[in-house]
Each structure stands twice: as C-alpha cells, then as structure tokens.
Structure 1
Amino acid sequence: MPDNSSPAYAKQPAGKPRIPVIFWLLLTISVSLVIGTVLLSNDMRHLRAVGHYFGFDLYPPEVKPQPPKALPRPAPATYKLPPHTIEAPVAQTASAFLRTWRISGPAMCAALRQAGIQTSKWAAASFDADTFECFYEHSGKREKDQLANSIFVIVRGDAAGAISNMRVKIVNPERDQNGQLDPAILRIFETMLRQPQWLDFHETLNAIKDLKDMKEDGFGASISFTHEVLNPERYNFTLSLDATSGPEKRTRNYFSGRTWLPAPEHSVAANHTQPKLLRQEPPAENRN
C-alpha cells in the first residue's frame, strides 16, 4: 500500500459538538413567552414595577377629573306674607265672592224685630211642614179712591234655619216731603240688605228709596224691586239665591242638618271634662 504521508491526509484532532441554531431560537422564544406571561399577569403589575424600577412608566396612571366642588348652601330665604293671608276671614269681604246666606232665618227675624218690624217667630208654615218662616203684616185704612197702605214682610227657609228667600210687598207706601219712601218703611229694606253682608248691591237701597224699579244679579244672588204694571202703587221686593246645579243641590241635601246630628256647643267642646258615670253597687246579698 502506498504510504500516504502527505499533510492533506493527516488526522485532525476531535473538536466539541456544535449546538444547532434552531435550538437557541426555540429557547429564546420560550424564555420570552415565560417572561411576557409573568410581566403581563396580575393586571400587568409586574410590568409596571419593572418600568418604574428603570425610571419610566409604560402605562401612566389615568388621571380622573376631580369631582366638582359643592356649591355653598345659600342662606334660607325669608318671605313676608301679607297680613290678609293669615288673618281670620272677614265676612264682609268673603260675601262678595262666596254667595251664601251668612245669617240664619231666626236671626234675620230677630234683626227685623230689633229694627221695629214685629215679625212672628220662626216656625213651620201652615201649608208645608218642611217650610219655615216668619212674617209681618200691617194694613191701614182706605181713604176715598186711594188704596189702603199696607206692608207685608216674609222670610222663608227650612227647619235648620237656612234662608231660601225674603220678600216684601208694600201698597200705596207713605212718602216724606221729598217724595221718597218713608224712613220707617225704608228700615225694612236696610235691615234685609245689611244683615246678609252682600256689599256689592250698594245702589239697591237708593233705588228703593226713590221707588224706582231695579234688578241686580251677581254671584248667584238676585235682588229686584219693581212695581206692578196694572197697579203702580204696589211694589214687590225679592231677595233670593238663584237655583244651583244638581250636584250642588245634592251636596247641600247630603250635609243638611236634618241628616246629621248637630255639633256640640262651643262651651261643651272647650271643656274637656267627660260626664262621670255612677257605679251601681250590687245588693248586699250578692256582695259575697
């Protein structure tokens, strides 16, 4: 065999085994995944801690706007009410807007008697037990062809004393030297117009004094003073409340005094004492 002693065929010493590049690539990717998982876990708190350690913030904290400051509480407002809002209602003022009889039938009859018109007492009418009334009637002597002067006054209502209407009829009334109605007769109308406290009919009395026809309506009340067409010396006066609606009538009837017991007297209501009940003792033989 030929001796192959050339340097090209000389044996080379054995070296260390080489690691493939793919191994390093896979290792790098695996380590990166582990580090990324650790940093991104727990709401990225570890990543923020690392960034804060090296002096920079990858996720700066969100700046929330401050809530608006509470406005200073204003001082409590003060209001001054006008005196008429806290005062007790005045009958003279209320009657101009709320049309009701502010006087009972018996009180009206008593006021006429105090004025010199001797009316009868408040009692049931002879033709209807549900109608109550008081009246006054006076007749003079007839002179020649003239009518006898007469006066008839009547106030009507119900058993509870609520007035329904007031009427006056005068025939051939006496006049004063100025041709106006005699003051003694005029006192009847003054009393009837003053007691209900309806102050809006201020021109009524002047028309009656001059014996002029007049008629006024307002807030449900009706007043008329007229002479008869065929008998000019006969005058009729009527003061009444107009007929109300059906619901209002039913309401008044429901709360009528004939349905409910009367309210206790003020003196009794003010006294809070109750009547004492007497205890009955049992007979002697039953006490044991």
Structure 2
Amino acid sequence: MLDNSSYAKQPAGKPRIPVIFWLLLTMSLSLVIGTVLLSNDMRHLKAVSHYFGFDPFPPQLKTLPPKALPRPAPPATYKLPPHAIDAPVAQTASAFLRTWRLSGPAMCAALRQAGIQTSEWAAASFNADTFECFYEHSGKREKDQLTNSIFVIVRGDAAGAISNMRAKIVNPGMDQNGQLDPAVLRIFETMLRQPQWLDFHETLNAIKNLKDVKEDGFGANISFTHEVLNPERYNFTLSLNATSGPQKRTRNFFSGRAWLPAPEPAFAASRTQPELLRQEPPAEHRN
C-alpha cells in the first residue's frame, strides 16, 4: 500500500503576474511621462533634451520677406522740333555723291599686287597729318630724248581715307600699236577700277591713246593732260570734291564719324604682275 504521508500538502509557490499587467503599467507610465514632458509649453522636454545633448526641434531658417520691386521709371518724353513736321524745302535737298569704296592702305596694296611696288602707307615727311604711299621709277637718258620716268602717289589721312591720287609719266613707252605701254597703263587701270566706279570707261581709253581727258561725275574729278610746254609729260589726278551745297550736305550726312566703316572690297587684280623698280621720289615730284 502507498504511504499517504507522501501526499502531504506542499507550500504554494509565488503567484505569477500576468503580462497584460506590465503592458498596462508601461502604457500608463508613458502617458504620465509624456504629459509631464509636453506640458508647460514643452519646457520639460526641452530641458531633458538639452541635458542629454540633443535637440528635437532644430532651428528653422528664417525666410526674408521679398524685396519690393522698384517702381518703373516714367516714360521718356521727347519734343519734336517744329521743322521736323515742316514740308520739304528744295534748297535743303542733298545730291548723289560718290565715295571711296576702299581705303588708302588697300589702294596701295592693290597697286603692289598689280606690279607697282609702292611704299607702305605711312605719314608724309612734310606733314604728320598726311599719310601716303608712292612709287618712283626713272629710266636711262638716251641722246637728246627726255628720260622716261613714272611717279605715282596716293594721299589721305591717318584713318586711311583717301584725299587724292596722282600720277606723272614722262616720255612713256609705247607698244607696237602706238598705244601706252601696258606696264604703265596698268597703273591707271588699277586706280580707276579699284574704287569700283563703272562710269569712266572713256577715261581709260583716252589714257591708253595719250589723249587729254577731263571728267566730272557725282563729286569725282578725273583728268589726264599733257603739259603745254612739255608735250611728253602727262599728269593724272583723281580726287573727290563736294562743290555744290547739296553735295556738301550729303558728304556731311554720310561722314565716317557717324557711320560704321564699310568692309574693304576685294582686289580686282587677281593675277601676279611683273614688278617694276622702286626708287625714292625726288622732292619736286612729292610736293
């Protein structure tokens, strides 16, 4: 038989606390702590976060208010002069006026390209305000004949604007047809064709046959004449002169001081020409 003494009552163990109790207690404490920290404008929370070295509320950048836009300036006013609405007056009309289509340095370069070896565009020795390039060639004297010589000069100012072009030939050579030597005629061909004026064909034909010719047109004055006392000396001049009132008004209106400079035109001479000799001109030719 079993001993009933083994079934004697044992002392009861400690009662276990349910898990739900700890959850409820944690939630209650969190609510209490949160209420304390968030109360009084969250000063307690800020004090605790400052104590532990972190800031739950980082400072926000302050945005500056937009600047007020400046007030627009009042529209500009301009009062037209009375003559702006007057009827045109015939006495104030302008006229067609020829202008140089290239500069002095470009003209000198065109002559060199054609075989006339002019000097570089530089200030003249007698006047620093005058610029020029020139060419001089003298041949040998034969018996009682005059020495054949050629002198060419292009003059203008420091800005390159041409004032005039001149040439002088003495006892020029002739070809088999009795016309001016083509090497000398090339000088006048270049001077007349480079400005790209197309209304002086008769001038070139007259020079080729050594005939006197004078032409005026829209401010351009061209002459090729022989000297009365020296028939074997020929003088050529080409210049622009505004003589009439309308021409002067046109020249002043289209002055280079008020307009942008035009590009240089391409040289008409494209082939290489035989070079002529170059010598310093005597003082009597240059003045």
Query: Which amino acid is 1:177 matched to?
Result: Q
* C-alpha distance in structure 2 between counterparts of 1:98 and 1:231, whole Å: 35
TM-score of the superposed pair, with normalisation by structure 1: 0.53
* C-alpha distance in structure 2 between counterparts of 1:168 and 1:252, whole Å: 29
Partner of 1:131: 130
Residue by residue over 1:37-56, the C-alpha shift from the partner in whole angstroms, topping out at 9 and shown as x without a partner, is xxxxxxxxxxxxxxxxxxxx
How many equivalent pairs are there? 166
| Aligned-partner SS, 1:169 | strand
Partner of 1:181: 180
Verify: 1:114 aligned to 2:79, yes or no.
Answer: no
Deviation at 1:198, TM superposition (A): 1.0
| Structure 1 runs not aligned, ≥5 long | 1-96, 266-288
Contact 2:118 2:134 in 1 (8 A): yes
Residue by residue over 1:159-218, the C-alpha shift from the partner in whole angstroms, topping out at 9 and shown as x without a partner, is 000000000000000000111000000000000000011111111110000000000011
| Aligned-partner SS, 2:146 | coil
* C-alpha distance in structure 2 between counterparts of 1:213 and 1:254, whole Å: 33
| Aligned-partner SS, 2:224 | strand
Distance 1:136 1:143, change over 3 A: same
Residue by residue over 1:126-168, the C-alpha shift from the partner in whole angstroms, topping out at 9 and shown as x without a partner, is 1111100000000011111100000000000000000000000
Distance 1:150 1:103, change over 3 A: same
* C-alpha distance in structure 2 between counterparts of 1:245 and 1:159, whole Å: 27
* C-alpha distance in structure 1 between counterparts of 2:254 and 2:127, whole Å: 21
Residue by residue over 1:27-79, the C-alpha shift from the partner in whole angstroms, topping out at 9 and shown as x without a partner, is xxxxxxxxxxxxxxxxxxxxxxxxxxxxxxxxxxxxxxxxxxxxxxxxxxxxx
Query: Which amino acid is 1:240 matched to?
Result: S
Distance 1:240 1:105, change over 3 A: same
What pairs with 1:94-243 in structure 2 (closer than 5 Å)? 98-243=97-242
Contact 2:242 2:251 in 1 (8 A): no
* C-alpha distance in structure 2 between counterparts of 1:244 and 1:101, whole Å: 16
Q: Which has the larger radius of gyration?
A: 1
Deviation at 1:243, TM superposition (A): 4.0
* C-alpha distance in structure 2 between counterparts of 1:249 and 1:142, whole Å: 50
Residue by residue over 1:65-104, the C-alpha shift from the partner in whole angstroms, topping out at 9 and shown as x without a partner, is xxxxxxxxxxxxxxxxxxxxxxxxxxxxxxxx54000110
| Aligned-partner SS, 1:203 | helix
Deviation at 1:226, TM superposition (A): 0.3
| Aligned-partner SS, 2:201 | coil
Over aligned residues, Cα RMSD in angstroms?
Answer: 2.6
* C-alpha distance in structure 1 between counterparts of 2:117 and 2:140, whole Å: 19
* C-alpha distance in structure 2 between counterparts of 1:109 and 1:123, whole Å: 11
Residue by residue over 1:232-275, the C-alpha shift from the partner in whole angstroms, topping out at 9 and shown as x without a partner, is 00000000012446894897599656xx9x88x9xxxxxxxxxx
Percent identical residues: 84
Q: 4+ residue runs of structure 1 moved beyond 2 angstroms?
A: 243-257
